[in-house]
Amino acid sequence: MRTAHPLAPILLSLCLAISWQVQPIHAQKDKPEPLTEAQIEEIREAGINPDERVKLYTKYLGEHAETIKSLTNRSKSIGRAKRLDEELQDLTALMDELGSNLDLYADRHGDIRKALKPLSENADHWLGILRALPGEPGFDLARKEAIESGEDLADQAKRLLAEQIDYFNLHKDEQGQDRAEPK
Protein backbone atom coordinates (compact mmCIF):
# COMPACT_ATOMS: atom_id res chain seq x y z
CA MET A 1 0.00 0.00 0.00
CA ARG A 2 1.33 3.38 -0.99
CA THR A 3 1.12 6.39 1.34
CA ALA A 4 0.41 9.90 0.07
CA HIS A 5 3.13 12.45 0.32
CA PRO A 6 2.63 14.66 3.42
CA LEU A 7 2.61 17.84 1.25
CA ALA A 8 -0.13 16.60 -1.11
CA PRO A 9 -3.07 18.03 0.88
CA ILE A 10 -1.30 21.40 1.18
CA LEU A 11 -0.56 21.53 -2.57
CA LEU A 12 -4.13 20.55 -3.38
CA SER A 13 -5.49 23.30 -1.10
CA LEU A 14 -3.13 25.84 -2.65
CA CYS A 15 -4.21 24.93 -6.19
CA LEU A 16 -7.90 25.23 -5.26
CA ALA A 17 -7.33 28.59 -3.58
CA ILE A 18 -5.54 29.93 -6.64
CA SER A 19 -8.26 28.72 -9.01
CA TRP A 20 -10.99 30.37 -6.89
CA GLN A 21 -9.11 33.68 -6.90
CA VAL A 22 -8.69 33.62 -10.68
CA GLN A 23 -12.40 33.23 -11.44
CA PRO A 24 -13.48 36.80 -10.54
CA ILE A 25 -10.84 38.14 -12.91
CA HIS A 26 -12.45 36.24 -15.78
CA ALA A 27 -15.89 37.46 -14.75
CA GLN A 28 -14.70 41.08 -14.92
CA LYS A 29 -13.64 40.59 -18.53
CA ASP A 30 -17.18 39.49 -19.42
CA LYS A 31 -18.52 43.03 -18.80
CA PRO A 32 -19.94 44.15 -22.14
CA GLU A 33 -18.59 47.22 -23.89
CA PRO A 34 -21.03 50.18 -23.91
CA LEU A 35 -20.41 50.63 -27.64
CA THR A 36 -20.76 48.22 -30.56
CA GLU A 37 -17.71 47.26 -32.60
CA ALA A 38 -18.95 49.51 -35.43
CA GLN A 39 -19.30 52.47 -33.04
CA ILE A 40 -15.84 51.86 -31.61
CA GLU A 41 -14.42 51.80 -35.14
CA GLU A 42 -16.22 55.07 -36.00
CA ILE A 43 -14.69 56.73 -32.94
CA ARG A 44 -11.24 55.40 -33.84
CA GLU A 45 -11.54 56.78 -37.36
CA ALA A 46 -12.65 60.14 -35.99
CA GLY A 47 -9.71 60.14 -33.57
CA ILE A 48 -7.79 62.59 -35.69
CA ASN A 49 -10.75 64.99 -35.75
CA PRO A 50 -11.68 65.97 -32.17
CA ASP A 51 -14.81 67.85 -33.24
CA GLU A 52 -16.19 64.78 -35.02
CA ARG A 53 -15.24 62.51 -32.14
CA VAL A 54 -17.20 64.63 -29.64
CA LYS A 55 -20.19 64.60 -32.01
CA LEU A 56 -20.08 60.79 -32.15
CA TYR A 57 -19.91 60.45 -28.37
CA THR A 58 -22.83 62.87 -28.09
CA LYS A 59 -24.82 60.75 -30.54
CA TYR A 60 -24.10 57.48 -28.72
CA LEU A 61 -24.82 58.99 -25.31
CA GLY A 62 -28.15 60.21 -26.68
CA GLU A 63 -28.99 56.70 -27.85
CA HIS A 64 -28.29 55.27 -24.39
CA ALA A 65 -30.32 58.03 -22.73
CA GLU A 66 -33.29 57.34 -25.01
CA THR A 67 -33.07 53.62 -24.21
CA ILE A 68 -33.18 54.49 -20.51
CA LYS A 69 -36.16 56.77 -21.11
CA SER A 70 -38.02 54.02 -22.99
CA LEU A 71 -37.38 51.54 -20.15
CA THR A 72 -38.80 54.00 -17.61
CA ASN A 73 -42.38 53.46 -18.75
CA ARG A 74 -42.26 49.67 -18.62
CA SER A 75 -43.77 47.82 -15.70
CA LYS A 76 -41.42 47.10 -12.83
CA SER A 77 -39.65 43.75 -13.01
CA ILE A 78 -36.32 42.21 -12.15
CA GLY A 79 -35.40 42.11 -15.86
CA ARG A 80 -36.23 45.79 -16.33
CA ALA A 81 -34.20 46.77 -13.25
CA LYS A 82 -31.23 44.73 -14.49
CA ARG A 83 -31.42 46.27 -17.96
CA LEU A 84 -31.70 49.78 -16.51
CA ASP A 85 -28.71 49.11 -14.26
CA GLU A 86 -26.64 47.99 -17.27
CA GLU A 87 -27.74 50.94 -19.42
CA LEU A 88 -27.01 53.40 -16.61
CA GLN A 89 -23.55 51.91 -16.11
CA ASP A 90 -22.88 52.13 -19.86
CA LEU A 91 -24.07 55.73 -19.94
CA THR A 92 -21.81 56.59 -17.00
CA ALA A 93 -18.81 54.90 -18.62
CA LEU A 94 -19.37 56.80 -21.87
CA MET A 95 -19.81 60.14 -20.09
CA ASP A 96 -16.60 59.56 -18.14
CA GLU A 97 -14.75 58.55 -21.32
CA LEU A 98 -15.96 61.66 -23.13
CA GLY A 99 -14.93 63.79 -20.15
CA SER A 100 -11.40 62.37 -20.40
CA ASN A 101 -11.34 63.18 -24.11
CA LEU A 102 -12.49 66.74 -23.41
CA ASP A 103 -9.62 67.15 -20.95
CA LEU A 104 -7.15 66.18 -23.68
CA TYR A 105 -8.72 68.50 -26.25
CA ALA A 106 -8.72 71.40 -23.79
CA ASP A 107 -4.98 70.99 -23.19
CA ARG A 108 -4.32 70.94 -26.94
CA HIS A 109 -6.47 74.01 -27.64
CA GLY A 110 -8.28 72.15 -30.41
CA ASP A 111 -11.25 74.08 -31.72
CA ILE A 112 -14.25 71.93 -30.78
CA ARG A 113 -16.77 74.71 -30.23
CA LYS A 114 -19.15 73.33 -32.89
CA ALA A 115 -19.45 70.03 -31.01
CA LEU A 116 -19.50 71.52 -27.50
CA LYS A 117 -22.69 73.52 -27.94
CA PRO A 118 -24.89 70.49 -28.83
CA LEU A 119 -23.10 68.42 -26.17
CA SER A 120 -23.91 71.03 -23.55
CA GLU A 121 -27.58 71.15 -24.58
CA ASN A 122 -27.90 67.36 -24.76
CA ALA A 123 -26.20 66.84 -21.39
CA ASP A 124 -28.96 68.89 -19.77
CA HIS A 125 -31.58 66.74 -21.57
CA TRP A 126 -29.89 63.51 -20.41
CA LEU A 127 -29.83 64.79 -16.84
CA GLY A 128 -33.57 65.45 -17.10
CA ILE A 129 -34.13 61.83 -18.14
CA LEU A 130 -31.96 60.54 -15.29
CA ARG A 131 -33.61 62.74 -12.66
CA ALA A 132 -37.10 61.76 -13.85
CA LEU A 133 -36.23 58.07 -13.44
CA PRO A 134 -37.56 56.98 -10.05
CA GLY A 135 -34.97 55.17 -7.99
CA GLU A 136 -35.37 51.45 -7.34
CA PRO A 137 -33.13 49.12 -5.36
CA GLY A 138 -32.04 47.27 -8.53
CA PHE A 139 -30.41 50.31 -10.15
CA ASP A 140 -30.44 53.18 -7.64
CA LEU A 141 -26.66 53.27 -7.21
CA ALA A 142 -26.10 53.23 -10.98
CA ARG A 143 -28.66 56.04 -11.35
CA LYS A 144 -26.90 58.20 -8.76
CA GLU A 145 -23.51 57.60 -10.42
CA ALA A 146 -24.96 58.45 -13.84
CA ILE A 147 -26.42 61.70 -12.51
CA GLU A 148 -23.06 62.65 -10.96
CA SER A 149 -21.22 61.87 -14.21
CA GLY A 150 -23.84 63.76 -16.19
CA GLU A 151 -23.51 66.83 -13.96
CA ASP A 152 -19.73 66.68 -14.26
CA LEU A 153 -19.91 66.35 -18.05
CA ALA A 154 -22.47 69.18 -18.38
CA ASP A 155 -20.33 71.47 -16.23
CA GLN A 156 -17.18 70.51 -18.09
CA ALA A 157 -18.78 71.09 -21.51
CA LYS A 158 -20.14 74.51 -20.52
CA ARG A 159 -16.86 75.58 -18.92
CA LEU A 160 -14.80 74.36 -21.88
CA LEU A 161 -17.11 76.08 -24.36
CA ALA A 162 -16.72 79.38 -22.50
CA GLU A 163 -12.94 78.92 -22.32
CA GLN A 164 -12.76 78.12 -26.03
CA ILE A 165 -14.85 81.14 -26.99
CA ASP A 166 -12.51 83.37 -24.97
CA TYR A 167 -9.36 81.64 -26.27
CA PHE A 168 -10.30 81.80 -29.95
CA ASN A 169 -11.44 85.41 -29.66
CA LEU A 170 -7.86 86.18 -28.59
CA HIS A 171 -6.22 83.75 -31.04
CA LYS A 172 -8.23 84.20 -34.22
CA ASP A 173 -5.42 82.73 -36.31
CA GLU A 174 -5.86 79.37 -34.53
CA GLN A 175 -9.61 78.97 -35.13
CA GLY A 176 -10.67 75.69 -36.71
CA GLN A 177 -7.49 73.80 -35.85
CA ASP A 178 -7.29 70.38 -34.23
CA ARG A 179 -4.52 71.45 -31.84
CA ALA A 180 -2.38 74.50 -31.10
CA GLU A 181 0.96 74.43 -32.85
CA PRO A 182 4.00 75.77 -30.97
CA LYS A 183 5.21 79.11 -32.29
Pick the CATH number of 37-174 from 1.20.120, 1.10.1400, 3.90.25, 1.10.3470: 1.20.120
pLDDT in tens, 32-85: 688 989 999 999 998 778 889 999 999 999 999 999 999 988 888 999 999 999
- pLDDT, residue 63, reads 96
Query: 36-46 b/e with 16+ CB inside 10 Å = b?
Result: eeebeebbeeb
- pLDDT, residue 91, reads 97
Mean predicted lDDT score pLDDT of the chain: 83
Q: SS3 of 33, please?
A: coil
Which runs of consecutive H residues, i.e. helices, occur in the chain?
Answer: 8-29, 37-45, 50-72, 78-108, 113-132, 140-170
| Domain definitions of the chain by residue range | 37-174
Task: Calculate what percentage of the chain has a pLDDT beyond 90.
Answer: 56
pTM above 0.85, yes or no: no
Q: How far apart are CA 109 and CA 104, in angstroms?
A: 9
**Integer Rg of the chain from CA:** 23
Please list the ranges in the chain whose pLDDT falls under 70: 1-32, 176-183
- pLDDT, residue 110, reads 77
